[in-house]
Structure 1
Amino acid sequence: MVVQAPPQLIGAPLDGFADEARRALERHPEAKLLAFPELHLFGDGYPDLQREEALRGAAEPLDGPRVEALASLASELGVWLAPGSVCELGEHGELFNTQIVLSPEGRLAGSYRKIFPWRPHEPYVPGDRFAVLDLDGIGRVGLNICYDAWFPETTRQLSWMGAEVILNVVKTTTADRAQELVLARANAIVNQVFVVSVNCAGPTGMGQSLIVDPEGGVIAEAPDAEPMLLAADLDLAAVDRVRAHGTAGVNRMWSQFRPGEPAIQLPVYGGRIDPRTWQPSTFSSPATGSSPTTGHVDVVPATVRSVS
């Protein structure tokens, strides 16, 4: 379930957020995942100023009291809790915009540091790893924050890593939300995945949260910036179905290459597309029994896979 809501103020007691989450579940007790917008716990007044000194003053490491309290709340609610993103204090004093997911058992299931901060407006240090979480009862969810959606490489990478759903948490207060709606549908289409884009509500944000299917169809959407809940039961079998039969019964982008075809050089990345590794991961490659990847793979017990 997507919660389109205005942000809580920086430094506000978590009791207010806990009540907000409980109210959402009272309306949709069947929900397994509760997702909030980017930096939902870090509002800086209206208009939202996002002052670096205020954000840094509220930043904590992920093993700090804020995440511990959020994990306890997830356990109380018995759901996967994605409270937006938080200001993470790095071990060397860096400030990261970090998306987190807490498990129904009350632990930090995974995290992702925003790779593409909205420059020059945001003060964050970029992250350097992608993250896909295998959430029991939900599916494989790729983590993605706001401006990341403007860089098609991010959704492509997450989809290749096996994501069935891209969770894009957003704090868009500007007129470019109209373009983001196009990008949400485009990223879903070209990667044949579900995209969930949850933006903050007014008066701070532009709202218009939406949930998109693997062919770009809008399943649910908020028509404006008013606070709103969006609930959808995602048929994840649709991902395999669309990839097998094609978008609109025609296009099968993940089956583009034939055995033995040469690699396509990508000078902008200093890399290439290699037909041998083009297929998206299923966390177990049919050919090798292991996940195809370039680079280093970390498997965190039970739930998380990330690639640098």
Structure 2
Amino acid sequence: MSRYLPLLLVQAPARRPGDDPGLEGFEHEVATYLSDFGPDFKQARMVVYPELHLCSAEGTPDERTAQLEAAAEPMSGPRIQRLGEIARKLGIWLLPGTVCERGEDGHLYNTAPVFSPDGELVAAYRKCFPWRPFEPYQPGKEFVVFDVPGVARVGLAVCYDIWFPEVSRQLAWMGAEVIINQAATTTCDRAQEQILVQANAIFNQVFVVSANMAEPAGMGQSLIVDPEGRTRTVMPGATPGILTDVLNLGEVERVRQFGTAGLNRMWSQFRDDDPVIELPVYGGRLDPKTF
């Protein structure tokens, strides 16, 4: 049975602090994008926005931190409830960009929520690698995947996480066939980041979807990469816009079975009688029996 995941990736500038507090404008924007596909399109579409799209901050480091402190809410707060309503009303899988979470420990977290077409908060991932010293967030400590029933298992990584290969490898070990990387890259290293998106796709044989913030602050250049590392579609610049695609999850099965370029089958590399490889830097090991 074919498994297809329709995607709508929005490359957009972050909303200014205090803009659209009731999220009416955000809801209207998403609804407008979806209307472009016409009323006959019935399958639930996954809509992906960049990092901190709804919780941006401006000014000096102290000013940004103060704005984030003011914007922070727990995951049970009104913003999350409202986003769930939007997902349910529009019948979509909604990844609205990360939000500033006030954790139960009082710390700020850069957290990526995921809402199902029923409006349920099905996943929330706290960014493990905040970009220091610029970001005032506490690091998360758990990797997160969620299921689109009958279609795919999806892993979450936020911006700088893509620079740490352990993140995507762990997500792949947890069964992720697609990794969503929501980014707010405003610096000149977006070109390197695009290569890392391709590399993460190649060495895990997964789709990687990288949604980056648009100008004036963001560098844009959002892209979607297939399990062989080929770019399926890309925004050539930083102007606001959307990318659409339909991921065929059978491609993950094909590449893992026959190999990247028909050659490299990393998931079939080990035999049960191969030696255990110690990983002292992690305090762990690669055991062929569990790979």
Provide TM-score, normalisation by structure 2. 0.92
Equivalent pair of 2:58/2:64 in contact (CA under 8 Å)? no
Using a 3 Å threshold, how does the CA distance of structure 1 residues 85 and 137 change in structure 2: closer, same or farther?
A: farther
Aligned to 1:24: 33
Which residue in the other structure is 2:136 paired with?
A: 123
Alignment of 1:109-148 (within 5 A): 109-136=122-149, 138-148=151-161
Aligned-pair CA distance for 1:246 = 0.3
Per-residue deviation at 1:43?
2.2
Matched-pair contact (CA < 8 Å) for 1:102–1:110: yes
Question: Per the alignment, do residues 237 and 46 of structure 1 end up closer, same or farther by CA in structure 2, a change over 3 Å counting?
Answer: farther
Alignment partners' CA distance in 2, 1:121 and 1:46: 12
Match of residue 175 from structure 2:
162
The answer as to whether partners of 2:51 and 2:159 remain within 8 angstroms in 1 is: yes
For residue 74 of structure 1, report the CA deviation from its aligned partner.
0.4
Task: Tell me the amino acid that sits aligned with residue 150 of structure 1.
Answer: W
| 2:203 paired residue number | 190
**Structure 2 counterpart of 1:227:** 240
Match of 1:252 in 2: 265
> 1:36 and 1:137, CA in 2 relative to 1: closer, same or farther beyond 3 A?
farther
Q: Structure 1, residues 254-280: CA drift from partner, whole Å, max 9, x if none?
A: 1111121111011111111111111xx
Task: Describe the superposition over 1:218-275 as per-residue Cα deviations: whole angstroms up to 9, x where unpaired.
Answer: 1110000011111111010110110000000000111111121111011111111111
Distance verdict in 2 for CA 1:239–1:72, change over 3 Å:
same
Report the counterpart of residue 287 of structure 1 in structure 2: none
AA at the equivalent of 2:17: I
* 138-147 vs 162-171, greater mean Cα deviation: 138-147
RMSD: 1.6
Q: Deviations over 1:117-156 (max 9, x none)?
A: 1111110001111111001364111011000000000000
User: How many correspondences in the alignment?
Assistant: 278
- Please give the alpha-carbon distance, in whole angstroms, between the structure 2 residues aligned to 1:9 and 1:22: 20
Q: Give how far 1:11 is off.
A: 2.5
Which runs of structure 2 are paired with 1:92-103 in the superposition (5 Å)? Answer: 92-103=105-116
1:177 aligns with 2:190: yes
**3-state SS of 2:15 partner:** coil
| Conserved? CA contact 1:6–1:227, under 8 Å | yes
- The one of 12, 18, 40 equivalent to 1:11 is 18
- Secondary structure of the 1:232 match is strand
User: Do 1:42 and 1:86's aligned partners in 2 also have CA atoms closer than 8 Å?
Assistant: yes
> What stretches of structure 1 move > 4 A for 4+ residues in a row?
45-50
Question: SS at 1:239's partner residue?
Answer: helix
Q: Which runs of 5+ in 2 are unaligned?
A: 1-7
2:227 is aligned with 1:214: yes
Alignment partners' CA distance in 2, 1:48 and 1:36: 24
Q: 1:42 to 1:50 in 2, by over 3 A?
A: farther
Classify the secondary structure of the residue corresponding to 2:255.
Answer: helix
Q: How does 1:58-97 map to 2 (within 5 A)?
A: 58-97=71-110
Aligned counterparts of 2:139 and 2:231: Cα–Cα separation in 1: 31
TM-score, normalized by length of structure 1? 0.87
Find the aligned partners of 1:245 and 1:48 in 2 and give their Cα distance. 50
Residue pair 2:226, 2:232 contacting (<8 A) in 1 also: yes
Letter in 2 for 1:65: P
Structure 1: gaps (5+ residues): 279-308
Aligned partners of 2:61 and 2:134 also within 8 Å: no
Q: Which residue of 2 aligns with 1:267?
A: 280
